Amino acid sequence: MPDDPDGPSERPSERSHSFPEQRILVLHNADFGESSDGDPTYEARADVVNQAHDVARALVTHGHFVDVIGVDRDDLPELLERLRDDLPDLVFNLVGSLAQVEQNSVVATALLEAFGVPFTGPGTLSIASCCNKQRTKQILHSEGISTPRWSVVDAQFRSRVADLAAVAGVGYPAIVKLLADDGAQGISHRSVVFDDDGLARQLRAMREQFPGRKLLVEEYIDGRELNVSLLGDRLLPMMEIDLSALPKGLPRIVTYDWKWTKSADDYKRASASTLAQGLSPALVERIQSVARQSFAALGVCDYGRIDLRLASDGTPYVLEVNPNCDLSDRAAISLAAQAAGIAYDEMIEEIAESARDRFVGLAPAKRSPYASESGQ
Ligand SMILES: Nc1ncnc2c1ncn2[C@@H]1O[C@H](COP(=O)(O)OP(=O)(O)O)[C@@H](O)[C@H]1O
Ligand SMILES: [Mg+2]
């Protein structure tokens, strides 16, 4: 758990009046090696270091004292000791996984909860619900929010008959994903399948590449890809990922390569999220309402992002809810904030302030942030 030698630790003079200087610990996962050799999901996990630097820089700009620490599972005793001996005013929680398993990030939130230290983002219950896409979908479904039909498939190899029986209700086309990982891990153009043979092939490939991980087979929604971010008590302008650069014949999806593999064709085709244009005011309102409901149902607070696909009949389908979404200065939420006139540093400050307020009870109104109206 080395303190980041490059991390900012100085404090410049500028200060916000409402949120006086704080001792803030930026905590992130460090469950990746020196290089991507032999680790198919290295980039998705290692990117958190860039986020931590961006966040720390922003907090320093606002006059806070900032430490940046990366932890993996075996560093937990040290973290515990550190919290016991020197509790910060606030933890900016960027722990997205431990020991390369996203669900283990609840160990970090549980620890922070046990210490009663204020931290950004939601607590253990919400993180656990969002880490597991089936749990997320069950909660959304129970709230009447549209999410694609789905089935969960065992991690262990099964007979073709058993696999096909397990996903019979989903139909084709379908997409095969990991049940509990993000960052488009395991997603390639082969993930979208059109018949039993394609499905059986992709299940086998995923089981080989990600042993022991349960899989989610989901109805494939062909349509625009939108995302809506939450900042403090309001929704940010809706953003879109333009997938039109993908050649005809390839499914229009965000693949792992699109996000992370610099040498891949998909990466070269990728462009940053842009403001979603050309949607009717009624549809914008409908999607925002879905976003508010989704954040509330999953208990997301301070910040977060939902990913949606807009079906041809106009139904917005929620794919997932990200309570600890990417916070780098080029992330979708940062671009959405920028579109709303909120600079990156201000956005990070607002997230920290929102978290602090929840804990010290300075702004009780912010405890149910999704009820208020906000537009784009
Ligand atoms: N049901 C679906 N229909 C259409 N595209 C999908 C579907 N599920 C996932 N995708 C595509 O795969 C990408 C990654 O899937 P997502 O569920 O958001 O997982 P992750 O947690 O890896 O971001 C999405 O951004 C989208 O492009
Ligand atoms: Mg996603």
Per-residue pLDDT of 336-360, as tens digits, reads 999 999 999 999 999 999 999 998 7
Q: H-type helices in 69-159, by residue range?
A: 76-85, 105-115, 124-131, 133-142
Q: Which of 125, 101, 96, 102 is nearest to 328 (CA)?
A: 96
Average pLDDT, the chain: 90
Q: What is the pLDDT of residues 149-170, one digit of tens each?
A: 999 999 999 999 999 999 999 9
From the CB of 307, is ligand 1 less than 6 Å away?
A: yes
pLDDT score recorded for residue 18: 64
In CATH terms, 23-119 corresponds, of 3.30.70, 3.40.50, 1.10.10, 3.40.630, to 3.40.50
Superfamily classification of domain 149-219: ATP-grasp fold, A domain (3.30.1490.20)
Q: How far is CA 4 from CA 23, 86, 94, in A?
A: 16, 17, 14
Distances (CA, A) of 345 to 59, 206, 255, 348, 352: 7, 39, 29, 5, 11
Name residue 216's beta-bridge partners: 152, 177
Pocket-testing residue among 152, 246, 254, ligand 1, by greatest number of atoms within 8 A of Cβ: 254
State the virtual CA torsion across 303, 269, 194, 211 in degrees, nearest 10. Answer: -60
Contact present, 215 and 177 (Cβ < 8 Å): yes
Closest CA to 153 of 173, 138, 175, 136: 175
Look at 102 and 181; give whichever has higher pLDDT: 102
Tell me what pLDDT residue 42 has.
85
Ligand nearest to the CA of 225: 1
Q: Which atom of ligand 1 is nearest to the CA of 186?
A: 22
Ligand 2 centre to CA of 51 (Å) is 17
Q: What CATH fold (topology level) applies to the domain 224-371?
A: D-amino Acid Aminotransferase; Chain A, domain 1 (3.30.470)
- Residues 32-73: tens digit of each pLDDT: 877 677 777 888 888 999 999 999 999 999 999 999 999 999
> Which token pair is 82?
């550190």
Better-scored residue on pLDDT, 370 or 122 = 122
Burial class of residue 58 in the structure, from the number of CB atoms within 10 Å of its CB (0-12 exposed, 13-18 middle, 19+ buried)? buried
Give the up-direction half-sphere exposure of residue 219: CA atoms within 13 A in the CB hemisphere: 16
Instruction: State if residue 183 touches ligand 1 by the CB under 6 angstroms criterion.
Output: yes
Residue-wise pLDDT for 213-246, tens only, equals 999 999 999 999 999 999 999 999 999 999 999 9
Domain ranges of the chain: 23-119, 149-219, 224-371
Between CA 167 and CA 153 the distance in angstroms is 8
Entry pTM: 0.90
